[in-house]
Structure 1
């Protein structure tokens, strides 16, 4: 067999699959060049603890790496990156596994960051520092006693770092303060050359730009420092309406969002509640419209603002009230146990009467689709304004996110994906053509899909940054930005 044939075979089956399996020798060699050695664990397929370490939140895609480095220190991350670089192997990173992208196979080195859960809060400077495995619940718990709050996501069990690197769209404080990435002060990151760097707007403006919004394409982040805000409570929660009233609610909502101040964050989700004992009897097996409210001003002013929506139809349940900030998970009530979730997303330029009618026809209570949830989330406010230090976060002119999520087993996967694609198609006339990277799924991991998560000039800039910091594209098991070749 000649060289050309071998290369052709490598292309056909994946060139890295021709590499020999990882061994403990690979780890020992890399660890020997690190002052403190490996503090965490190295796991090969079949080792005790391997199956536990690859567990993810979203069960649609489960990693199957050839080597796991369960990192306990930044030095462990450096060891993992050096092993991958020497072998020319792709690198993947796993904290919670909320956002799978492309398969992680036996050719890959998987770095798990769950043991890196340190969080510190500097109340005087209104800053927090979170390590790569820290969850938002850890930050909220540390910040609340100081009367501060972060720009966290909708669920307490999402990782701080992955969320922030994708922009960080807070459904509680985003419209008031902007994206989480806008308030990052410094980032500790191991780049593809194995170096641990602390990156700031001054030390490396271009890498600082790309890390904030570019996800895991430019290095393995071990810690991030970011701003906190003087918020101790919110007026919010959810108000549930019968599915039959979804139209009245959505038409009232599209008019209402044009009038609200930046301190009001909100969304509406069309949901199909499973017929399970874990749900209250009035909701089981029903289609509902859930209005999600997060007002960070005075409760009385929030109640006055919400009144027109409360009067749009008769609520089934009304759980909007003044609450301590730590109660933020009650707004969305996202599942906390691992699930197989199929997802799609888009950005909308408007929510007009025609948009609402198209949404109801495609995903309303009478639509014959197996969809668990379709959410329209209001953007604008500080989310639309440029940050002090430019970042890769794009499409700030979008007015709403469209996010679709369905819990489905393998036998329902094809029908679910087809239904979600049909909803995306139906709303295309009102789409900006862009996407929010943190909401993108395994079905949106192509190079073309990732390109649409950024403005064209930003995507070109990120590709040139990639060529500088990761020319071999070792960090490609993600929503990948390939190195520029020109």
Structure 2
């Protein structure tokens, strides 16, 4: 079949849908470019407006030997090529809040910040991640490790149910009592078992929190990192913290004290008594002279201020690993490859403390593994020829303290090596078995999905 024949065949997808469909070169196709800069060149882009649009697209792809990839914001996007139809779910933007039941039904195109803003008048909170600009569904299907993870657990622990389109084009509910195997696998299994078109979540009575970040000059990195390591071991579960070595570019949106230099950010988010939280943070504020201190009592809708992740699209190279512990030697090893004088090109190198409610078994079993993780290490660098090699040096330098595992939402990638890092063998094989049942033709076998065959 020629390239022209392929295009003609794909164009017939329009006959099955009432929503916009764009082929290469047509208006709307440019929307396939993801936030994180992954290479995306699909056969067509479908701007879905309903679950039925999604289901019909899946059935078309199955009938024509094509595959489906899904994108809301594109933060976790991986490569997509010309045998794939890209479904954009941004049009699935419904948001219904039930204040009395403290629940929300959220469409797949909704970002967390939209939910947070809608909940503010009611003093309620949603279990979002550290970057509220990402889509709700993508975070939840990977578990979700937010700024309050030690206090409230995984974001997906608060899911009540999903509406999902399977690889056969069926629209199904997935709850603890309906298609419970799907409910198990959609919490942690990413897109392996279907395309989530809506999700119902529990809301939390957290109108405000005490948090933000304290930033120090890079020259104080050794003192700050060693102090943080000792300090965080005694923190109660009401506090979630991380520490990051930053080299932020001199851009208008970057605060002047942080732009174009190395700094160290102690990120802090606490629920409960604000005076007690202030007392707990005080030792870190005194380690060195801060160049910027943003920690205060904030409305929950400002939870993004803790990590202050960029909101504009940015091509980056990421890597990630789980750490079993952080010792004084771990800190020294990190400083040698990412601290002052190391020549590191990394924009962000972060160690995030876990434990607490993160380690708590979920009310309903799920596909998320590695709840016993003590810390995570994340590296993020703006795409540059030097960055991948230097990233590998950071990961290798901390290999002695690494479990070799990964969490699904960090540093998205594909391939069997990635899968065996994210899941233990029983979980991986169960996900693959369920994929054979719900997606026998492998229509959804793109990106970060657990498939044994392929």
TM over 0.5: yes
CA distance in 1 between counterparts of 2:161 and 2:114 reads: 19
Say which SS state the counterpart of residue 27 (structure 1) adopts: helix
8 Å Cα contact 2:45-2:87 kept in structure 1: yes
State how 1:106-145 maps to structure 2 within 5 Å: 106-145=82-121
1:55 paired to 2:37: no
| Alpha-carbon offset, residue 280 of structure 1 | 3.8
1:293 paired to 2:275: no
Query: 1:95 matched to which residue of 2?
Result: 72
| Alpha-carbon offset, residue 186 of structure 1 | 0.7
Query: 2:22 matched to which residue of 1?
Result: 43
Structure 1 length-normalised TM = 0.90
| Alpha-carbon offset, residue 23 of structure 1 | 3.8
| Alpha-carbon offset, residue 324 of structure 1 | 0.9
Say which SS state the counterpart of residue 99 (structure 1) adopts: coil
1:227 paired to 2:202: yes
1:415 paired to 2:386: yes
Structure 1 runs (4+) greater than 6 angstroms displaced:
15-19
Query: 2:136 matched to which residue of 1?
Result: 160
8 Å Cα contact 1:465-1:483 kept in structure 2: no
8 Å Cα contact 1:238-1:319 kept in structure 2: yes
Say which SS state the counterpart of residue 423 (structure 1) adopts: helix
| Alpha-carbon offset, residue 309 of structure 1 | 0.8
1:433 paired to 2:401: no
Deviates more, 1:138-147 or 1:191-200: 138-147
Deviates more, 1:194-203 or 1:467-476: 467-476
Structure 2 length-normalised TM = 0.96
| Alpha-carbon offset, residue 81 of structure 1 | 0.3
Query: 1:67 matched to which residue of 2?
Result: 44
State the aligned residue count.
454
Give per-residue Cα distances to partners, 1:248-300, cap 9 Å, x unaligned.
11111111221111110111010112234543443332110001111111211
| Alpha-carbon offset, residue 39 of structure 1 | 3.4
| Alpha-carbon offset, residue 21 of structure 1 | 2.8
CA distance in 1 between counterparts of 2:152 and 2:2 reads: 44
8 Å Cα contact 2:165-2:171 kept in structure 1: yes
8 Å Cα contact 1:120-1:142 kept in structure 2: no
Distance 1:96 1:323, change over 3 A: same
8 Å Cα contact 1:199-1:207 kept in structure 2: yes
Which ranges in structure 1 are unaligned for 5 or more consecutive residues? 1-14, 32-37
Say which SS state the counterpart of residue 238 (structure 1) adopts: strand
